[in-house]
Amino acid sequence: MMRILKYFLPVLLAFLCACAANTEPESAWPEATYSKLINTGKFVSRSDLEAPPAVLPQNVKAVIVPHGPEAMPMGAAIMHALAQRNPRTVILLAPNHTAKGPKIATTYAAFAAYDGIVLPDEERIRAVEGRGLAGIDDGLFLDEHSVGAVMPLIARYLPGARVVPLIFQKGASFNTAKQAVETVCDLSDPETVIVASIDFSHGLSPREEQVRRAKMIECIQMYDAAGVLNLDGTYVDAPVVLATLLQMLKDDGCKMEFIASANTAELLGRDVPAATGYMTIVFYREK
């Protein structure tokens, strides 16, 4: 028996060390040890989180970042720049691609990422739930890439920030959406930032995408919330999210700055049959 242990013990120790060294989210934070934990490793690779910080104006109140895989470095540049501000709360607005569950949904779950665990801002989530403006549905967030792709960026560049994740069906009421966001977000709070996870034109040739993106830019520059609500998926994947954001920021007197704009073909450097449009935009208040 001692001979067997002497032979297998080094092998066992090597195996355990290898397991401990594995930093993938699924291994580092097993779901069995948390009551509500959503792993994000399947949504984005570690290398996609790296990007030099973008140059942003001061007093940023909100940003738009993409969630498409090829555009992750665009979002990483924005989140890296926000690290200098070190916000305590992130209001994460995103589309519900499944069109299931509540029209506006949220969760008390935590999100495990490569660089740590992103915790929910339970007080603000209780506020929006308590007013009947959003329903709790953990299951919707398990496969929602518009949230899962952004959480690793928050974990890396804004460690310690609490998050209020809100996902919206396309049929969600604009008025209810605006009330929900206003309930959880005080734009005068310097320690809170809105991150809207939005992709733009879908399913078009690269040239057609460029044409629609130009029109989309015009709508955004005009803060045309009503116009955005009438657009379909060939322009934007989250009309009600974008419209709500534009109306709130217009009412608050915010300015905007376009940081980057591209589509799938431009990012990959080759032609593709169906391109998605991406933009990163920051909204800020002049002092």
Residue 120: name the closest of 129, 128, 111 by CA: 111
Q: Which residue has the tokens 């209810």?
A: 176
CA distances from 101 to 112, 122, 174, 188 (A): 23, 20, 17, 32
Q: Please give the pLDDT value at position 111.
A: 97
Q: What is the pTM of this model?
A: 0.87
Q: Residue 80 carries which side chain, given as an amino acid letter? A: H
Q: Please give the pLDDT value at position 88.
A: 95
Helix (H, G, I), strand (E, B) or coil at 246: helix
Residue 25: name the closest of 141, 118, 136 by CA: 118
**pLDDT at 11 exceeding the cut of 60:** no
Report residue 287's pLDDT band, with 50, 70 and 90 as the boundaries: confident
Outline where 61-150 has alpha helix (H): 72-82, 122-130, 145-148
**pLDDT at 23 exceeding the cut of 50:** no
Model pLDDT for residues 78-131, shown as the tens digit of each residue: 999 999 998 999 999 999 999 899 999 999 999 999 999 999 999 999 999 999
71 CB burial (10 A radius; 0-12, 13-18, 19+) = buried
Model pLDDT for residues 190-211, shown as the tens digit of each residue: 899 999 999 999 999 999 999 9
Percent of the chain with pLDDT over 90: 82
Q: What is the dihedral of CA 57, 45, 141, 162, to 10 degrees?
A: -40
Instruction: State mean pLDDT over 137-151.
Output: 97
Q: Please give the pLDDT value at position 81.
A: 97
**pLDDT at 30 exceeding the cut of 60:** no
Q: Please give the pLDDT value at position 27.
A: 38
Q: Please give the pLDDT value at position 5.
A: 39
**pLDDT at 25 exceeding the cut of 80:** no
Residues 183 and 110: beta-carbon distance below 8 Å: no
Q: Residue 229 carries which side chain, given as an amino acid letter? A: L
Domains of the chain: 27-284 (3.40.830.10)
For residue 193, what are its two tokens? Answer: 């930032």
CA distance linking residue 258 with residue 253, whole number of Å? 17
Q: Please give the pLDDT value at position 47.
A: 93
Q: Please give the pLDDT value at position 10.
A: 43
CA distance linking residue 32 with residue 38, whole number of Å? 11
Quote the mean pLDDT of the chain. 89
Least confident of 19-33, 38-52, 265-279: 19-33
Q: Please give the pLDDT value at position 187.
A: 83
Residues 66 and 199: beta-carbon distance below 8 Å: yes
Model pLDDT for residues 145-184, shown as the tens digit of each residue: 999 999 999 999 999 999 999 999 988 999 999 999 999 9
| Residue 39 CA to its chain's centroid (Å) | 14
Angle at 80 between CA 225 and CA 189, to 5 degrees: 55
